[in-house]
Amino acid sequence: MHVMPVPGDETVGRKALVLFLDAGPSSRHGGGEDASALSEPAQVLRLEEELRATQDRLSASRREHEVSIQELRMANEKLQSIKEELSTVNGELQSKLNAVASAHSDLRNLVNATGTGPGMLLLDGELRINMLTPVVEQLFSVTDSDVGRPITDFTHKLACDGIERDAAKVLRDLSSVETEVQTQDGHWLMMRLRPYRTVEDRIEGVVVSFVDITELRQAADQLRESEARYRRLFDTMDEGCLLAEVIRDEAATSRPTRRRCGWWVRYRRPLPARDRRGFAPEW
């Protein structure tokens, strides 16, 4: 400790500066080195124990790490096996997708090639549209973008409104329905409804087909009109016509032959129908 006066104003009072300086270790504590020397073996033992404990923890951690590595290897092998299986399944799936895409392309080209041919409409169990052909687009106000919507949401050019009823009957009875329908522009269609069967023989909807039979109906009407005209002609004419089929056996050993012959017989007056039915010509 060092004390020295501080110069200054004497009116305020005298001051002193006190300094404490480090003079080194005191001679009274000279036995500290012996105490430290005595405690060093205990510290060494403690450090060795801590080192051994650390080594044990490190060994245990190394073993756990090796076990984890082994498990990761096994998991990697399983993942590799699963990857190979997925690759095989993916190849099979890709092959099936290619087959489905090819079948879809063939079906689409077949549908487009029908042109003005038969119209096809595929409905599911809820009467929603699954597929349609261009002919159906001319009968119903639908397009390809309407696939998935109920057919009952659209108007049509048919003169009847029984397609929903017939489709429900097909799904209920699992039987086909066939009927002739007329369009609003005067054409006639043969409408056939039959169950849609999958390859597993499950019923999953209705197939509706439309075939234009306008020319067939016209030909049938013309045939009926022609038959009626000829019938009226035969009923009013003075001459009768007989169409007969003659079977001759010219030789006993030969096979009988058939020949169709016609005779015209002139009368002075038309015969009644009962007399004409009983008429037998002579030859």
Partnered with residue 86 across adjacent β-strands are: none
pTM above 0.75, yes or no: no
pLDDT value for 253: 47
pLDDT value for 267: 42
Identify the residue with better confidence: 6 or 30: 6
User: What's the average model confidence in pLDDT over 208-229?
Assistant: 88
How does pLDDT run across 8-42, given as a tens digit for each residue? 666 556 766 666 666 555 555 444 455 555 467 78
Question: What confidence category does residue 5 fall into, taking pLDDT thresholds of 50, 70 and 90?
Answer: confident
pLDDT exceeds cutoff 60 at 250: no
Q: State the Cα–Cα distance between residues 179 and 23, nearest whole angstrom.
A: 128
- Distances 4 to 24, 238, 243 between C-alpha atoms, Å: 22, 176, 169
Q: State the Cα–Cα distance between residues 84 and 148, nearest whole angstrom.
A: 38
Q: Are 15 and 6 in contact (CB under 8 A)?
A: yes
Question: What confidence category does residue 44 fall into, taking pLDDT thresholds of 50, 70 and 90?
Answer: confident
Radius of gyration of the chain (CA): 56
Identify the residue with better confidence: 114 or 18: 18
Name residues whose C-beta falls within 8 Å of residue 147's C-beta, 6 or more positions apart in sequence. Answer: 129, 130, 131, 132
pLDDT value for 139: 86
> What is the total residue count of the chain?
283
* CATH architecture of the domain with residue range 116-213: 2-Layer Sandwich (3.30)
pLDDT exceeds cutoff 70 at 47: yes
**For the chain, percent of residues with pLDDT exceeding 70:** 67
Identify the residue with better confidence: 170 or 283: 170
Q: State the Cα–Cα distance between residues 171 and 174, nearest whole angstrom.
A: 5
* Structural tokens at position 242: 């007989």
Residue with tokens 């019923």: 203
Count other Cβ atoms within 10 Å, centred on residue 237: 11
Q: State the Cα–Cα distance between residues 207 and 216, nearest whole angstrom.
A: 23
For the CA atoms of 160, 110, 127, 187, what is the dihedral angle to 10 degrees? Answer: 0
pLDDT value for 206: 92
pLDDT exceeds cutoff 60 at 268: no
pLDDT value for 282: 44
Name residues whose C-beta falls within 8 Å of residue 271's C-beta, 6 or more positions apart in sequence. Answer: 240, 279
Question: What confidence category does residue 263 fall into, taking pLDDT thresholds of 50, 70 and 90?
Answer: very low
Q: Which DSSP letter does residue 27 get?
A: G
Question: What confidence category does residue 265 fall into, taking pLDDT thresholds of 50, 70 and 90?
Answer: very low
Residue with tokens 């929903």: 164
Q: State the Cα–Cα distance between residues 277 and 271, nearest whole angstrom.
A: 10
In the three-class reduction of DSSP (H, G, I as helix; E, B as strand; rest coil), residue 189 is classed as strand
Q: State the Cα–Cα distance between residues 118 and 27, nearest whole angstrom.
A: 125
Q: What angle do CA 54, 57, 59 make, to 5 degrees?
A: 110
Residue with tokens 């109906």: 217
Partnered with residue 15 across adjacent β-strands are: 6
Mean pLDDT of all residues belonging to the chain: 76
pLDDT exceeds cutoff 60 at 283: no
Identify the residue with better confidence: 244 or 202: 202
| Number of Cα atoms under 13 Å in the Cβ half of residue 92 | 5
pLDDT value for 278: 47
Q: State the Cα–Cα distance between residues 139 and 97, nearest whole angstrom.
A: 33
Question: What confidence category does residue 273 fall into, taking pLDDT thresholds of 50, 70 and 90?
Answer: low
Annotated domain spans of the chain:
53-83, 116-213, 218-277
How does pLDDT run across 142-179, given as a tens digit for each residue? 888 888 898 888 888 888 877 888 888 999 988 899 98
- Number of helical (H) and strand (E) elements in the chain, helices listed first: 5, 9
